[in-house]
Amino acid sequence: LKTPTFDNWQWEDAEIMVLLQVMYTDLDFISTFNIELDVMQQFLYEVYRRYNNIPFHNFKHCFCVTQMMYGLIWLTDLRSKMDSIDLLIMLTSAVCHDLDHTGYNNAYQINARTELALRYNDISPLENHHCAVAFEILEKTESNIFRNLSTEQFKRIREGIIKCILATDMTRHTEILNKFKALLPVFDFSNKDNRDVLMMIMIKVSDISNEARPMDVAEPWLDCLLQEFFNQSDMEKLEGLPVTPFMDRDKVTKPSSQTGFIRFVLFPLFIELANLFPCLELNSNDEEIHCVKNLKAKDTTGKTTVFRHLSVLRFWPILLPCLLSSNIQNTHLSVYFITRQTFASVDFSYHEYI
């Protein structure tokens, strides 16, 4: 349950609810926050009920995101760096982060002027809604896992969960990533603002981490995502609304959807998390990639690139053996990123290898 190899497809929803409870128990939340087991179960059942039966943003997605968060907490030994309340905020935000998602994204909500867009004035309508539903569940005593906490603690948790869930709006991706990058050189775990940004980064990483999983786990998720995308673009065409290009069944294929996403969204985000946690870098015992671990190259402008491989992304881009065996004097090097569906080649023109 602690590794990215965990296969969600082998578990029924009822079993998944038990697995979620195991995570709360294993992180000592049940004992630390005095959560009664029937309240824990009622909370998880309410969460389960309020995820919709849609292709992607469903209860199984909620589980995968939570499981990745749980795995990252262990992998980065976060328990030694942050207090239990922060960890409780992170895990619970993951559980609740897509509650009552309708399968149509914010662009649709806004363009179609849905009830949610009207209610939230076009500002992250979905994320605001996910968060509001979470606190509806927590309003009921029988499903309020925080009911034995002090008013002050509840206040801090509420503020944290709101921050984390609102951070999953991808229109804020660059803003949050840049904030984190700026903090990195002086990152301070004792500073609340620093920890808040890290928590936002960790939920974002978990939210888009399907491609960090083994192929037979990740690929069905892509099918689910595209099915939801295509449902939306079909609806947009039907209603005469602007069609989001990356959702258009006439324009998108599985490889085209993944290569750009991994290169421009997923990898740059994951790399920054690894900059804070070097343990996310490749395990040095891993011989296959050991040789490329410290490879650096200088391009014609003199800029140095260090090739990276993250253990948390071990199932995804593997720098092909071409790197290991290629003529190191070669002035032109192609690095192949193997994705699930295709080879995407990225050309680097390096004139010097260090």
Q: Measured from the CB of residue 291, what is the shortest distance to Zn ion in angstroms?
A: 36
Binding residues for ligand PCG, rule CB under 6 A, total 13
Q: Which residues neighbour 135 within 8 Å (Cβ) at sequence distance 6 or greater?
A: 158, 161
How many whole angstroms separate alpha carbon 168 and alpha carbon 176? 10
How many whole angstroms separate alpha carbon 32 and alpha carbon 345? 50
How many whole angstroms separate alpha carbon 162 and alpha carbon 196? 11
Q: Which stretch binds ligand PCG (CB under 6 A): 145-153, 254-262, 330-338, 339-347?
A: 254-262
- In the shown chain, the binding pattern of residues 82 to 121 toward ligand PCG, with x for contact by CB under 6 A and - for none, equals -----------------------x----------------
Is there binding between residue 128 and ligand PCG (CB under 6 A)?
no
Is there binding between residue 98 and Zn ion (CB under 5 A)?
yes
Is 290 labeled as catalytic in the residue annotation?
A: no
DSSP code string of 268-286: HHHHHHHHH-GGGBPPTT-
Is there binding between residue 207 and Zn ion (CB under 5 A)?
yes
Query: Does 58 count as an annotated binding residue?
Result: yes
Query: Does 169 count as an annotated binding residue?
Result: no
Is there binding between residue 236 and ligand PCG (CB under 6 A)?
no
Q: Which stretch binds ligand PCG (CB under 6 A): 25-33, 82-90, 205-213, 337-345?
A: 205-213
Interface residue with ligand PCG, options 58, 67, 143, 258 (CB under 6 A): 258
Query: Does 60 count as an annotated binding residue?
Result: yes
* Element holding 304 (H helix, E strand): strand 304-306
Comparing every residue's Cβ against ligand PCG, the nearest one is: 261
Q: Given the complex with ligand PCG, which of 105 and 144 has the nearer CB atom?
A: 105
DSSP code string of 62-130: HHHHHHHHHHHHHHTTGGGTS-HHHHHHHHHHHHHTTTT--S--HHHHHHTT-HHHHHTTTSSHHHHHH
Residues within the interface to Zn ion (CB under 5 A): 98, 207
Residues within the interface to ligand PCG (CB under 6 A): 57, 105, 168, 170, 207-208, 210-211, 222, 225, 257-258, 261
Residues classed as catalytic:
57
Which residue numbers belong to the known binding site for Zn(2+)? 61, 97-98, 207
